[in-house]
């Protein structure tokens, strides 16, 4: 919890209690737990063929230390949770090598076991999904700064803040959790998180946000061979205070044309999410699963060095229920969405 969390503070004179914001469930792995988890991932990465790995991921994840499985299970049952964090994973920086220049060359043999470990942790929450239109359909993708993309609107940016967003907000098949594994983050570049405080939403705004009056364009990380799909209007906020479903993207959402009421409601929620934005820094060895239904996420700006020392994350999208996705190619307990 961060210093905004004053739950449980005694009543009485003094400053007004501040709102509880950071709902991160965090487990600090012991050296033994981290070692066992990495050993399992290394064995999966070197001894199993891909077919078996993708088929048996949820079963292989049973071999992770029990404390990790118990913790993730408890955390996933919090309907208002923001982030599930597993800290203290071991990274051998000497073996890992330099941060690659682009995602295209980032699926390195030395980093593969970390991607598998991220998938194993993710299998405690659901099944990994990928996108045929993103990073060549890889299930484990890479987040690192690319030269020339410093001011772009995607995660390869650096000098520009990556604005808060629901991962793949344009699609009904978007993930329930986004898993991020910090292999390197020497500059402690913060990830950002924001959320809707339901009790703050005026009733008329809530009613409009729950109606299909908003259009999401796919972000620029998706590369389409032909025409981009024509987005249909969808709601921004559904599900109610006990089980919210937030769908928002600061750069890629607009109200439908000719609907000033929707535009006003959208402006309200954008201001609200801006105001609630807070930092969660993924340090080296941190694995974070961001709840893609409850919160939006982004990244603060930073100065990329492009010398092999820059921030490098592995990323995996996790779906709780593969059966809700009917537009992809199944490979074992995974799916690549077309």
Residues of this chain that bind Fe ion (CB under 5 A): 167
The smaller minimum CB distance to Fe ion, of residues 167 and 176, is found at 167
The smaller minimum CB distance to Fe ion, of residues 205 and 277, is found at 277
Q: How many CB atoms lie within 10 A of CB 329?
A: 12
CB of 43 to Fe ion, least distance (A): 30
CA distance 293 to 235: 13
The smaller minimum CB distance to Fe ion, of residues 68 and 106, is found at 106
CA distance 299 to 190: 6
The smaller minimum CB distance to Fe ion, of residues 142 and 167, is found at 167
Given a contact cutoff of 8 angstroms between Cβ atoms, the answer to whether 248 and 159 are in contact is: no
Query: DSSP 3-state assignment of 27?
Result: strand
CB of 296 to Fe ion, least distance (A): 9
- Find the DSSP H helices in the chain: 31-47, 50-60, 66-76, 93-96, 109-122, 203-209, 260-275
CB of 196 to Fe ion, least distance (A): 18
CB of 299 to Fe ion, least distance (A): 8
Pick from 182, 46, 32, 29: which is nearest to 112 by CA? 46
Sheet with 162-165: strands ordered across: 162-165, 295-299, 190-195, 278-281
The smaller minimum CB distance to Fe ion, of residues 167 and 291, is found at 167
CB of 321 to Fe ion, least distance (A): 21
Pairing state between β 83-87 and 24-28: parallel
The smaller minimum CB distance to Fe ion, of residues 111 and 166, is found at 166
CB of 100 to Fe ion, least distance (A): 19
């Amino acid at each position: 919890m961060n210093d905004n969390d004053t739950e449980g503070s005694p009543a009485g004179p003094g400053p007004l209690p501040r709102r509880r914001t950071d709902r991160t469930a965090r487990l600090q792995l012991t050296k033994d737990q981290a070692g066992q988890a990495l050993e399992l991932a290394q064995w999966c990465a070197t001894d199993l063929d891909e077919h078996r790995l993708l088929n048996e991921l949820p079963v292989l994840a049973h071999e992770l230390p029990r404390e990790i499985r118990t913790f993730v299970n408890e955390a996933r049952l919090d309907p208002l949770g923001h982030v599930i964090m597993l800290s203290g994973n071991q990274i051998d920086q000497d073996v890992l090598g330099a941060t690659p220049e682009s995602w295209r060359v980032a699926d390195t043999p030395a980093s593969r076991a970390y991607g598998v470990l991220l998938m194993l942790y993710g299998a405690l929450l659901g099944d990994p999904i990928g996108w045929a239109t993103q990073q060549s359909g890889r299930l484990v993708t890479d987040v690192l700064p690319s030269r020339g993309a410093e001011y772009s609107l995607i995660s390869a940016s650096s000098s520009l803040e990556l604005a808060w967003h629901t991962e793949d907000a344009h699609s009904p098949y978007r993930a329930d959790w986004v898993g991020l594994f910090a292999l390197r983050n020497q500059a402690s570049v913060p990830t950002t998180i924001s959320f809707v405080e339901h009790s703050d939403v005026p009733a008329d705004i809530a009613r409009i946000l729950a109606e299909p009056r908003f259009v999401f364009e796919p972000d620029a990380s998706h590369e389409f061979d032909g025409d981009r799909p024509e987005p249909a209007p969808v709601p921004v906020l559904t599900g109610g205070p006990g089980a919210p479903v937030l769908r928002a993207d600061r750069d890629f959402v607009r109200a439908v044309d000719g609907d000033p009421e929707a535009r006003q409601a959208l402006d309200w929620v954008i201001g609200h999410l801006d105001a609630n934005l807070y930092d969660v820094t993924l340090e080296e060895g941190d694995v974070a699963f961001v709840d893609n239904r409850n919160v939006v996420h982004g990244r603060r700006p930073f100065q990329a060095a492009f010398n092999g020392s820059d921030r490098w994350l592995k990323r995996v999208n996790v779906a709780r229920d593969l059966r809700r996705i009917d537009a992809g190619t199944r490979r074992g307990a995974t799916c690549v969405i077309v």
